[in-house]
Structure formats: C-alpha cells, structure tokens
C-alpha cells in the first residue's frame, strides 16, 4: 500500500558488498536491525541531549530522543504511504555521529578541527561509523547498509554541494533525497523542540509561566486544556498542552506535505528527487510557530547561565584531550595509532573523541590529564 512516490525496497540500489536475500526480512528491515545492534547505537544512551544524567534520570539522552524521533517518523510515514522500514532505519541512525556533551561537544570538536583546516560534521561522521568503524562482519567493514539508508544519513538534514564534497558524489548531491529521508530532519525538530520544553520545565530552568509567555502556540493550547480540565494538576495540564503541540505539528506536516506533493505533481521517487526544493515541510503558519519555539529554547534554555559551567567543562575536556593526543599520539589505542599512519592525525583524534560517551571521555580526561568533573 505504498504511495507512488515512496521508495520501494525491491528497487533499492543495493549494498556496497552484495549479499544474498534474507528469507524473511527485506533489506531495509535488515538495515534497521544492523543499526540497533551497532555499538554506536548503544553508546547513544550515555550521550547528552541537553541535560546530563547527574541532574535527573528522567531527562532525555541521545538514545531516548532517537526512539521518540523513530515513533513520530513512523506515524507520519504511515499517513503519507511512505516506506516504514526505510523511515525507521533512518530515524534510528540519524544521531549516530553525535559526539559526547551534546551541542557543546559538537561545537568544541568542530573548533578543534577547524584549527587544523578541517571541520566536524555529525552526519558525515555517522557515515564513517556505518561504513568503516563498526566491525561486526567477517565479509566486509562497517554495516554494509543499502544505498538509500547511507544516502539518508548524509542528506536528511542538509544539502551538500557536489563541488565542495567530491568524495560524496555517489550520493546524488544534485538531487533531493526521497521523502523518507526528508521527513527525518522535521521529525527531529518536532521531537526535540517539545521534549526540551518538557525537560526544561523538569529541570526548573524554565517555568510554566515563562513557557506560556514565550511560546504563543503553547499558551493557546494550554488555555484550551485549562478550559477542559480546570481542576487537573498543573503538570498534567502542561503534559496535555505539550501533547496537543506535538499533534498539531505532526498533523500539519502530514497535510502540508500531501499538498506540496500534489502541487508538484510528484508521481515517483524520481519526481521527488528532481524537484527544485524539498517537498516535506510544515505550512507557513506552523513553520513560524516552530521557529518561535526554537528561538525561545535557545534564548531561555540552551544559553541559560546555569548551563554555562557544564558547557565550559565540555569544551575544556574536548580541547585538552584533542591537544594531548595530537602531542602524544602514542597514548592513543593501538587501532587508532594504526589509522594515524594512513590518515591525518587530527581526523583520527577527532574520530576517537566523537565516538566516546560522556562518562568515558571524563574518565579519560581524569586519567590522562588529572581532570575532575565539575
């Protein structure tokens, strides 16, 4: 019951290393399962989303966030007639390349690489993980995922120019990704914008009053809930309003994407690929609400002075360990020392750090440099 513009697994461009068909799982289902069983996927449990575990066990981490993105993505994909197996594989893989310490860690690692004429990009690092770093099979390196999953890992959240990334030429950079991949960046936004309001309230960095004053759409939905459940506890009314906000964004994304696909006359995956812009999108009204909520979170939560000590510690730990291993590569694990004979040392050090969990990198900093957790 796939829509005409959905990706069909039987038309997949295949794997880098051909494999025989599985008797009862299609190729996208196998890709999903390979991601779930990957070490990089398990490590997401100990990587920060916004708040570290020392604040509360209830806050999202990269793994719980990924599960929420997967659930939202499957709901939308089913409504649009897209390939659920491909969508789920992409949703589960979308954050594999994130380093420790959340966005602070990503920025610190990128700054360290730029000092050496390069950069850090979590999408491209995720591709390196599934193509090279994961070691589970005797016949090949990496996970040997299908082209469509690898393409989606690269292109789900941004477009790369072919002239700037010639090494990515095989991923059809001049074309848009299929709708299954386009969805992921938008469902990621739905998941973390709403979850961060929830975690922000739980952390007490945000108050209900501040959220209502700063996010107009949430206030409007909260007033609806208040009218329907006047005697409910405040936190339950907050939960009801947040649920309605998720539903509003999900419904809008489904309906507006349908309208855009119809207006574009897209009747095949190739039509989606060759359209001048991405077809999956919110309506103008909901996109404006999304931007306003995101701006509120940046101003009131992500840049909160109370989070500054943790951000500064994250930046210091990454910077000092990066410099340490550049100066003393012999202290790298043997496998990374071997890679450094074939690749630039800054990239090897970057790869090592990016794969670490929050607890492990703190332990390494303490062990090698006498660092203490702030």
Residue by residue, DSSP assigns 228-270 as H-TTS-HHHHHHHHHHHHHHHHHHHHHHHHHHHHHHHT--SHH
CA 76 centroid distance within chain = 17
C-alpha 60/C-alpha 123 separation (Å) is: 21
Put simply, whether the predicted model's pTM sits higher than 0.85 gets the answer yes
Q: Residue 315: enclosing H or E segment and its boundaries?
A: helix 308-327
DSSP 178: P
CB–CB of 355/40 below 8 Å? yes
Q: What is the pLDDT of residue 34?
A: 98
Contact 62, 47 (CB under 8 A): yes
Mean per-residue pLDDT pooled into runs of 10, the chain (374 residues): 97 96 97 98 92 70 96 98 98 97 93 96 96 93 97 95 94 97 98 96 94 98 97 97 98 98 98 98 98 96 89 94 97 95 96 96 94 49
pLDDT score, position 50: 84
Confirm if 318 and 353 have CB atoms less than 8 A apart: yes
3-state SS assignment for residue 16:
coil
Neighbour count for residue 121 (Cβ, 10 Å) = 17
Distances (CA, A) of 276 to 222, 252, 266, 357: 38, 22, 12, 39
State residue 373's pLDDT score. Answer: 45
pLDDT confidence of residue 239 = 98
Residue ranges of domains in the chain, CATH in brackets: 9-308 (1.10.3210.10), 310-369 (no CATH)
Q: Supply the pLDDT for residue 148.
A: 98
Q: Which residues pair with 33 in a beta bridge?
A: none
64 with 57: CB under 8 angstroms?
A: no
What pLDDT score does 307 carry? 87
Q: For residue 191, give every residue at least 6 positions away whose Cβ sits within 8 Å of its Cβ, in sequence order, or none.
A: 65, 68, 69, 72
H-state helical runs in 37-157: 39-43, 62-80, 84-93, 102-114, 122-128, 147-155
């Amino acid at each position: 019951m796939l829509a005409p513009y959905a990706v069909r697994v039987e038309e997949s461009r295949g794997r880098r290393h051909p494999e025989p068909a599985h008797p009862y799982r299609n190729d996208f289902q196998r890709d999903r399962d390979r991601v779930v069983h990957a070490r990089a996927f398990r490590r997401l449990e100990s990587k920060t989303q916004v708040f570290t575990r020392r604040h509360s066990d209830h806050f999202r981490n990269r793994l719980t966030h990924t599960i929420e993105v997967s659930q939202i993505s499957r709901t939308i994909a089913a409504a649009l007639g897209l390939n659920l197996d491909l969508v789920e594989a992409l949703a589960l893989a979308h954050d594999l390349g994130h380093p420790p310490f959340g966005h602070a860690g990503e920025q610190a690692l990128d700054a360290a690489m730029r000092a050496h004429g390069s950069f850090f990009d979590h999408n491209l690092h995720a591709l390196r993980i599934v193509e090279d770093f994961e070691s589970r099979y005797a016949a090949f390196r990496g996970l040997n995922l299908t082209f469509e999953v690898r393409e989606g890992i690269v292109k789900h959240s941004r477009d790369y120019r072919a002239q700037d990334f010639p090494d990515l030429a095989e991923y059809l950079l001049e074309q848009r990704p299929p709708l299954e991949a386009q969805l992921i960046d938008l469902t990621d936004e739905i998941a973390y914008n709403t979850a961060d309001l929830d975690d922000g309230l739980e952390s007490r960095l945000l108050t209900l009053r501040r959220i209502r004053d700063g996010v107009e759409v949430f206030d409007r939905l909260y007033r609806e809930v208040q009218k329907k459940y006047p005697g409910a506890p405040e936190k339950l009314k907050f939960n009801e309003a947040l649920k309605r906000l998720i539903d509003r964004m999900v419904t809008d994304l489904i309906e507006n994407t349908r309208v855009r696909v119809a207006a574009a006359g897209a009747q095949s995956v190739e039509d989606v690929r060759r359209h001048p812009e991405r077809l999956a999108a919110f309506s103008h009204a909901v996109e404006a609400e999304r931007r306003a909520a995101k701006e509120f979170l940046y101003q009131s939560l992500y840049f909160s002075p109370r989070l500054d000590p943790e951000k500064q510690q994250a930046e210091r730990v990454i910077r000092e360990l990066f410099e340490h291993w550049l100066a003393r590569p012999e202290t790298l694990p043997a496998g990374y020392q071997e890679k450094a004979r074939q690749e630039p040392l800054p990239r090897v050090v970057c790869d090592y750090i990016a794969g670490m969990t929050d607890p492990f990198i703190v332990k390494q900093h303490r062990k090698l440099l006498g660092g203490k957790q702030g």
